[in-house]
Amino acid sequence: MTTMSERVSELSVRQASHHVSQSVFDGSRLRVVLLVDVYDGAQQQFLEAYEQLCNQVASVPGHVSDQLCQSIENPSQWLITSEWESAPPFLSWVNSEEHVRMVEPLHSCVRDTRSLRFHIVRETDTDATAGKRRLQAAPRIGDGVVRHALTFTVKPGSEDKVAEILAGYASPEPQVDDTTRLCRTSLYMHGNRVVRAIEVRGDLLTALRHVARQPEVRAVEEAINPYLEQDRDLDDQESARVFFTRAALPAVHHVTQAQEIAEAQRHALYYPAREGLGMRLAEVLSEQDALAAKDPRSPILRSTIFQRDDVVVRLIDMRGALEAADPVVALGLPDPSQAAELTTLLDAGARSGDPARLLESARMALITDRRSPEV
């Protein structure tokens, strides 16, 4: 029998679902689907590499099981599915240097991959699943936009030159194909760290590949190469792949108020976490943003939190200028207890008991913010 507290909790989740279009923090189990296209004749090599990877992944915290399937129509097409206790342990692993090393043996035999991640919403009841279901309580309501970011660092002293290069690029054609369109690119810097956030309507991977092929984008990437702290060679497929794998800064939470936000001002805030605490810091921010989205008085109209390792970036659209906002509200921490926990999660160099100083130190410098016209 469902208790009153459980009904209230479910109602709260259902109400929140009208605001939250993406979150990895609901505690439900995760299903990861990896589509793999193997080079002709390399099937046995791929199978051996998978066996090695499978044995290593089995010991990763949060991993439940995985399954390898081969197409009955095209032997070059493979499908790997894995189940995880929840999204955070998977993301911690997939974004780690350990993962980069684990998957290296696959690269010589794989032509292409595509990764999809899903929270489990419903499943058929069996004796094996009874009593241990952790399913997404209610479907979330999205807006059809995929959000993703890239981050990397440049050599100290080169910040002004890099900002000049990045601000001067020509925007690529926004319409990728019949179903995919680039909506917005927002680029910021904090010290020598660059963050490029993109919004795509349609397929993210298709959009990223489209952008990478554009001559104007390639010219900018080549121009900043000498200033990067991590060397890369865009003509070397493996070098480029490793760089962009390490640069990926996935969105872990997104929330939007149910109102018009066309006139909102966009800002980016950088929260450097203590070692190993980036995921928890992002979760604290997400809890507060989810509550703010249900308050019509909140100046925060939309918030997206990106996290990888100990790098946490919060992109916000808000009413009015950031300077005029209450620093505590702008930081996403109106709850005093949560504000206190945030201080313990931040890297020592970023901590401050003064919200105004913390906001100033977190604020990222805008380089460019380009929105594609709607069609």
Residue 128: inside a domain, yes or no?
no
Backbone angles phi, psi at 121, to 5 degrees: -100, -45
- With beta carbons less than 8 A apart as the criterion, state whether 153 and 193 touch: yes
Same-domain pairing of 115 and 149: no
Residue 218: inside a domain, yes or no?
yes
In DSSP notation, 258-283 reads SS--TTPEEEEEEEEBPTT-HHHHHH
What does the buried/exposed string (b/e) look like for 102-124 if buried means 16 or more CB atoms within 10 Å of the residue's CB?
bbebbeebbeebeeebebeeeee
Residue 361: inside a domain, yes or no?
yes
| pTM summary value | 0.88
Same-domain pairing of 71 and 106: yes
pLDDT value of position 131: 54
**What is the number of other CB atoms lying within 10 angstroms of the CB of residue 64?**
12
Alpha-carbon gap, residue 32 to 64, rounded angstroms: 11
Residue 1: inside a domain, yes or no?
no
- With beta carbons less than 8 A apart as the criterion, state whether 135 and 29 touch: yes
With H, G, I as helix, E, B as strand and everything else as coil, classify residue 310. Answer: coil
Alpha-carbon gap, residue 196 to 173, rounded angstroms: 17
pLDDT value of position 5: 40
Residue 79: inside a domain, yes or no?
yes
Taking CA atoms, 356 is separated from 291, 297, 351, 359, in Å, by 22, 21, 12, 5
Same-domain pairing of 103 and 234: no
Note down pLDDT in tens along the chain; length 375 residues: 444 344 434 444 444 444 667 899 989 999 999 999 999 999 999 999 999 999 899 999 999 999 999 999 999 999 999 999 999 999 999 999 899 889 888 888 999 899 999 999 988 876 655 556 688 888 888 888 999 999 999 999 999 999 999 998 888 889 999 999 999 999 999 999 999 999 999 999 899 888 888 888 889 999 999 999 998 888 888 888 888 889 999 999 999 886 556 678 999 999 999 999 999 999 999 988 888 888 888 888 899 999 999 999 999 999 888 888 888 889 888 777 777 788 889 887 777 778 888 889 999 999 999 988 764
Same-domain pairing of 210 and 300: yes
CATH code at position 39: 3.30.70.100
Same-domain pairing of 50 and 98: yes
pLDDT value of position 242: 86
Same-domain pairing of 104 and 158: no
Same-domain pairing of 189 and 294: yes
pLDDT value of position 349: 73
Residue 7: inside a domain, yes or no?
no
Question: Which residues are CB-contacts of 210 (< 8 A; sequence separation ≥ 6)?
Answer: 172, 176, 177, 180, 182
pLDDT value of position 295: 82
The full length of the chain comes to 375
pLDDT value of position 128: 56
Residue 366: inside a domain, yes or no?
yes
Strands (E), the chain: 20-23, 30-38, 63-70, 77-84, 110-119, 145-153, 181-190, 193-201, 248-256, 265-272, 300-308, 311-318, 365-371
Least Cα distance to 259 among 293, 303, 305 occurs for: 293
Question: How far is C-alpha 90 from the geometric centre of its chain's CA atoms?
Answer: 13
Residue 136: inside a domain, yes or no?
no
Same-domain pairing of 78 and 178: no
Alpha-carbon gap, residue 246 to 233, rounded angstroms: 14
Q: Would strands 300-308 and 311-318 be described as parallel, antiparallel, or unpaired?
A: antiparallel
Same-domain pairing of 216 and 354: yes
Same-domain pairing of 258 and 361: yes
Same-domain pairing of 314 and 228: yes
Range of the domain at 57: 25-119
pLDDT value of position 9: 43
Q: Would strands 193-201 and 311-318 be described as parallel, antiparallel, or unpaired?
A: unpaired
pLDDT value of position 192: 97
The total domain count for the chain is 2
Same-domain pairing of 196 and 80: no
pLDDT value of position 168: 86
Alpha-carbon gap, residue 142 to 273, rounded angstroms: 28
